[in-house]
Structure 1
Amino acid sequence: MSNFNSFINTLTKGSQNIENVQSMGTAKSLKIILLGPSLLQQGGISNYEKLFLEYAPSEVQICHIVTHEEGTTAFKIIVFLNAVWKFLWMLINEEVDIIQLEISQRGSVLRQGIMTFLAWIFHKPIIIHAHGSQFHIFYAELAKWMQYLLNWVFCKCQRLIVLSESWKNFYIENLGLKPEQVVVFYNPVKVPAEVPHRSLSKKLNLLFLGRIGKRKGAFDLIKAFSLLPTEYQTTSSLIMAGDGDIEQARNLVTTLNLEDYITLPGWIGSDKRDILLTQANIFVLPSYNEGLPLAMLEAMACELAVIVTPVGGIPEIVTHSENGLIVNPGDVQQLSDAIKSLIENETLRLSLGSKARTSVFALDIKNHWFSFLDLYHSVLNSDAQ
């Protein structure tokens, strides 16, 4: 976990720098335009934006412009055109310090690419925050001329924020960004002050949070649960909350005769999510591709033992048998064995959960904002030179 430790050291220095600036009375109010999806939208970026905006310090004024909202194609176009109009009006009429764009892949790249170009025309400092879990696949499928165009757009930013060292290496090697342009900010999490006691649980609750489908390993998880001994199935339950291919998942549950043990409630709000995290004993996310899943970090902050895969930024946070269990994507038997080991070994389950919680303290949203304040001032200082 050397990359993670390096991040912690950088975080500590950043918070000290901000405190020094504030203690001298020179903290400047910053005006940021944040371009990203609707806060009402389902997904990781929207959840991140809500947490980011909720904890924004008083010295930062953020105008959130919605560039995407779920609906018909015509509705999405109207939302985006409205965002372009509002963005241009602010660029022309208001003092703006930094443009920050939340980006994933596919349509998001097109929308935010246009916004990046407009910000560049107006000579505004640009920060792109990349969240895409499958950006590498999307990029590889593009025609060469589209890759060159995308490279040109990305290189116009002062900083590109990525979710892990592995993603940093990808963007530098493939999109031509300079190493000093790319910074790693692990996703933040709101760490609860208290967590429930989970020892001597009579029934164990397994929890999956995320889009139901192949990418998140939802079907693998259902199959892995079916391989558990009957006595473990009857003393356990699995809740799989999220949108996506819910009917396909329910059909698989029915085919495997697991209706009494597996529940698929669909997408849930943050309040219900927090309740499920409190009631759970084990969190499972057997993904094939990830950035750095917020759901996993939330589970770790709630002191849950986690079973995950070594994709995206996950192996920079989770070390096998230390603060979680890691299984290979698509290995259903290995996944089932990992679940079985945590069901039958309470000591291991509680130990992994305790260490998981401790390991994400540094990722608390307040520390995340220290890093962002340091980044904002760094960008503005370099731009002024």
Structure 2
Amino acid sequence: MQTKIVISPQKKILIIGPTAGLGGVRTHVEQLLSVFRNDIFTVKVIQGNSTFETFIKYMKFKPDVVVHNLSIYQKELLRVVLNRYILSLLTARHILHLHGGRFHELGFLTNPIFRKMMAFHFKRYDRIFCLTEEQYATILSLTKRKNTIQKIYNYVEIPDKAELVKEKEKLNLLFLGRLTMKKGVLDAVKAVKTIRNDNLRLWIVGEGELKGEILKNSDPRIRVEGEKKGAEKKKYLQKADILILPSSWPEGLPYAML
């Protein structure tokens, strides 16, 4: 008698990334993609889409699990709330993964009505992953569901050997991240301009809304290199003497530092 082999269908996972598609959240999405086995999971990533576009792609893909990624500021929070509400019309498990930011900086959470609305929203997730103690405490105070909340820190794969390439007469500073006010990139530019040292050099690796303003800078020691990935990004890390993180944004555990 032959044994009948039943092959289970692959689980479909939909990862909804950030609006901008840049920065640490995008890096986190790439990390997730590297750990899913192709023979078990079918993974699709959506980022930079409107709620309507997300819904259309959701309907076509029909996922078993949806992973929402959220950096905590009002615009992104509104996007995630809308996505979760619209996608709740269909059957799937929903996971929320929190990234940088602090809830207490969102003033509306002090309003009892908004707190109830947010409590209702967060209770709709099957699982919530937090990056910091503050996020964990806030979500717990809103949902009162300790069994659905978990702290997970950012992670990277550590290379077996890191070869550093140093230039004897140059002091290379590296800014790695989104070119926005909250990341403090303009502060880095201003600081370098105040230092009179021709051997100092600042590499700015990233993209963002302030790129045009930084490019107007006339200091030849400050170079905007654009977005770099993989091996290209690794070269800058190998050559840098100092990695700077002048962020005014409440970072959790930034990928740039890792």
Residues 62, 293 of structure 1: CA spacing in aligned structure 2 closer, same or farther, 3 A cutoff?
Answer: farther
**Which residue in 1 is equivalent to 2:11?**
31
Match of 2:58 among 62, 65, 87: 87
Tell me how far apart the structure 2 counterparts of residues 200 and 225 of structure 1 sit (CA, whole Å).
19
> Is it true that 1:296 corresponds to 2:253 in the alignment?
no
Tell me how far apart the structure 2 counterparts of residues 106 and 114 of structure 1 sit (CA, whole Å).
12
> Is it true that 1:246 corresponds to 2:219 in the alignment?
no
DSSP-derived class of the 1:168 partner: helix
Tell me how far apart the structure 2 counterparts of residues 62 and 102 of structure 1 sit (CA, whole Å).
18
Tell me how far apart the structure 2 counterparts of residues 180 and 277 of structure 1 sit (CA, whole Å).
39
Tell me how far apart the structure 2 counterparts of residues 275 and 170 of structure 1 sit (CA, whole Å).
39
DSSP-derived class of the 1:33 partner: strand
Q: CA deviation at 1:213?
A: 3.3
Tell me how far apart the structure 2 counterparts of residues 247 and 293 of structure 1 sit (CA, whole Å).
24
Contact 2:22 2:178 in 1 (8 A): no
Residues 170, 220 of structure 1: CA spacing in aligned structure 2 closer, same or farther, 3 A cutoff?
Answer: farther
Q: CA deviation at 1:33?
A: 2.3
TM-score norm. by structure 2 comes to 0.78
DSSP-derived class of the 1:194 partner: coil
**Which residue in 2 is equivalent to 1:129?**
97
Tell me how far apart the structure 2 counterparts of residues 286 and 30 of structure 1 sit (CA, whole Å).
43
**Which residue in 2 is equivalent to 1:184?**
151
> Is it true that 1:272 corresponds to 2:252 in the alignment?
no
Contact 2:103 2:138 in 1 (8 A): no
Contact 2:66 2:95 in 1 (8 A): yes
DSSP-derived class of the 1:152 partner: helix
RMSD (Å), alpha carbons: 3.2
Q: CA deviation at 1:147?
A: 4.0
Q: Unmatched 5+ residue regions in structure 2?
A: 1-7
Tell me how far apart the structure 2 counterparts of residues 247 and 83 of structure 1 sit (CA, whole Å).
30
Which amino acid is the alignment partner of residue 180 of structure 1?
A: N
Tell me how far apart the structure 2 counterparts of residues 177 and 30 of structure 1 sit (CA, whole Å).
33
**Which residue in 2 is equivalent to 1:109?**
77
Going by fraction, where is helix more abundant, 1 or 2? 1
CA deviation vs aligned residue, 1:114-147 (integer Å, no higher than 9, x gap)? 443355555643211112436543x324765444
> Is it true that 1:150 corresponds to 2:110 in the alignment?
no
DSSP-derived class of the 1:295 partner: coil
Tell me how far apart the structure 2 counterparts of residues 198 and 170 of structure 1 sit (CA, whole Å).
44
Contact 2:183 2:245 in 1 (8 A): yes
**Which residue in 1 is equivalent to 2:30?**
50
Paired positions, count: 247
Residues 41, 126 of structure 1: CA spacing in aligned structure 2 closer, same or farther, 3 A cutoff?
Answer: closer
Tell me how far apart the structure 1 counterparts of residues 164 and 229 of structure 2 sit (CA, whole Å).
24
**Which residue in 1 is equivalent to 2:4?**
none
CA deviation vs aligned residue, 1:317-367 (integer Å, no higher than 9, x gap)? xxxxxxxxxxxxxxxxxxxxxxxxxxxxxxxxxxxxxxxxxxxxxxxxxxx
DSSP-derived class of the 1:283 partner: strand
DSSP-derived class of the 2:181 partner: coil
Which amino acid is the alignment partner of residue 68 of structure 2?
A: L
Q: CA deviation at 1:85?
A: 2.9
Q: Unmatched 5+ residue regions in structure 1?
A: 1-27, 70-75, 298-385
Q: CA deviation at 1:239?
A: 0.7
Identity among equivalent positions (%) equals 23
CA deviation vs aligned residue, 1:36-93 (integer Å, no higher than 9, x gap)? 1389932322222122112323464133252x42xxxxxx44xx323213424555xx
Tell me how far apart the structure 1 counterparts of residues 41 and 16 of structure 2 sit (CA, whole Å).
16
DSSP-derived class of the 1:99 partner: strand
